[in-house]
A and B are shown apart, each in its own frame.
Chain A
Amino acid sequence: MSITKVTQHPTQNEGLIFERSQTGRVGYRLPKLDVEAANIDEIIPAELRRGDGLADVPEVSEVDVIRHFTRISTWNYSIDLGMYPLGSCTMKYNSRLNEKVARIGGYTNLHPLAPEEESQGALELMYRLQEDLAEITGLPGVSLQPAAGAQGEMTGVMLIRALLDKRDGEASKDRRVMLIPESAHGTNPASAALAGFTVKAIRANEDGLTDMDHLRELCDQGGVAGLMLTNPNTVGIFETNIKEICETIHNAGGLVYMDGANMNALVGVARPGDMGVDVIHLNLHKTFSTPHGGGGPGCGPCCCTAELAEFLPVPRVEKTGERYHLNYELPNSIGRVKAFFGNFGMMIRALSYIYTHGAEGLREATETAVLNARYVAHELKDTYHMPFEADCMHEAVFSHKHQTAAGVHTLDIAKRLIDYGFHPPTIYFPLVVEGAMLIEPTESVGRADLDAFVDAMKHIDREARETPELVLGAPHSTRIGRLDEATAARRPVLRWRPDMESLGKSA
């Protein structure tokens, strides 16, 4: 596989740290030995030591290391650099204030096993966050333990399962069907399967909404434990029948789980608990501005009705009088889902976000997020195919249908956007839209950025007709050009090896 280098600039062509290695080079200077030299064979038995003298570990100086990592850090694109309209991911700005608060010594130096009386501040923070999330969702039972959205989902459906087991006893085993719209995020059916449910897919109608007739038909078939629904759904449209949907499931004896990944469209405006939802997860790393991406720690709190609360994971953070404490004594709890108390650093940042904005500010953020997405939808609707007519909420879905005649597909459009300085949107998700581009601007961009983005998208459409090669070969402005994603997935090379050069040539 050959990689086309676009620029000669040394910082843009930094090699591997292994390639910087020079025998004998070190990044430290030790003082002279002022004790008697020990024989290493007597201290560490030979069989416990590697015998190759650390062959292939790069030998570099401190400045080598700093330049290497600083250079490669400039190849990154991040929300601090520009608009990041990755649909379903809510890549909003993560404020510096959150970071400042998260670095307060009282939090960073606290050991998770410190006794309760010495952890009152941390427990109070968790308790306050629980209270606020309960208020925002309209669901009073909260666990902050799950480490991500997917784990929050699994926790949520395990609560449903625990309630059904308690309510129905033996008969619960005949209630194992989880209904999930075909447009759902892949983690939904995965979570349901892990919790022991079988999944049945619900069709969508032409407007991109849950097909009510199909939903009723599936309920009539019996065995329904519940429904997992994203609202607004994954095509960015609000399920206007949500109350009727919840009623239908409840009448069938099931419970309603809402995937809260899209809560950035609802916070401060509408509450899932008021719509009839029984349990929801939130992604603090999306809606509540904690850092997101790169696999860093997330936080996927699970919020539920009072009826489900007895099953929440232990320990639960509770308040008696003016004291905060951890309650492990909940006999019906599903148990722990995460070590200690979850990703505490994310809880600090999320509460900081909530307090920074206050109730009014949160509502305004939601309104701006929806307005921004609708603005993009309005500006691009004549250029790019929109599969659904309904007004979108916080994100808008388009397809490549108007560009494919010129041989240009979603992937090419996404790659070309990089040349215009934008992170590409989410592509090929949701699967129900062929060649989908899911665009979520978030509230963190103003009119000027939105206009620049819209302009870029319109330019790309023009290029697709007039100079399709330009789009098909994109990106052109980055360090390296188009990558061969198929080979990377078919024959992944995950680590450097000294014989790599020769391997690369023979492959």
Chain B
Amino acid sequence: MSNIPENLKYSKDHEWVSVDGDVATIGITDYAQSSLGDVVYVDFPRAGDKFATHEAFGSVESVKAVSEIFTPVAGEVTEVNEGLNDAPESVNNEPYGEGWMVKVKMDNPGETDALMTSAEYEDYLSSQG
């Protein structure tokens, strides 16, 4: 069963969001990393890039495939996790820790209310079969 921390919000595209004021930290969930397989490269946006909700802001390359990652919230990228350039395996080993991907200054912090709670995400995963 995949690990779904309670203090985070989740998107249908299997991203997690942790909120601190108007800054959202975004990564991919344990379920996402395990279905992708060994991650070998993460392609990021640049700090300062702006994205609308659901826009693709980068991609994750695993031994199986390249998958796009979508912003669950609109805003401006303030920081990306450069550490993943040297250690992309952090996405597999610590998806909710060292494996975080970007920090976004949200246009509308209220937007995270529309995301799923951990319980909702768990239901969503089981409904996906």
Binding site for B on A (CB under 8 A): 186, 411, 427-429, 431, 434, 485-486, 489-490
Contact = CB atoms under 8 A, between A and B. Distances in A.
Interface string B59-100: 001011111000000000000000000001100000000000
Contacts of A429: 65
B43 to A, nearest CB: 14
B65 A431 contact: yes
Interface stretch (B18-26, B34-42, B116-124): B34-42
13 contacts: A186-B66, A427-B64, A429-B65, A431-B65, A434-B35, A485-B38, A485-B63, A486-B40, A486-B89, A489-B38, A489-B41, A490-B88, A490-B89
Given A428-B65, A431-B67, A490-B41, 20 more contacts: A186-B66, A411-B37, A411-B64, A427-B64, A428-B64, A429-B65, A431-B65, A434-B35, A485-B38, A485-B63, A486-B38, A486-B40, A486-B63, A486-B89, A489-B38, A489-B41, A489-B61, A490-B40, A490-B88, A490-B89
A225 to B, nearest CB: 20
Nearest to A434: B35
Contacts of A411: 37, 64
Contacts, number: 25
A485 B63 CA distance: 7
User: Chain A's interface: helix, strand, loop or mixed, by majority?
Assistant: mixed
Contacts of B41: 489-490
Contacts of A489: 38, 40-41, 61, 63
A489 B38 CA distance: 10
A490 B87 CA distance: 8
A434 B65 CA distance: 11
Contacts of B89: 486, 490
A489 B61 CA distance: 10
Nearest to B35: A434
Contacts of A431: 65, 67
Nearest to A401: B129
A434 to B, nearest CB: 7
Nearest to A429: B65
A428 B38 CA distance: 13
A166 B125 CA distance: 49
A434 B14 CA distance: 15
In this complex, the member of B37, B41, B64, B89 whose beta carbon has the largest number of chain A beta carbons within 10 angstroms is B64
A431 B37 CA distance: 13
Nearest to B40: A489
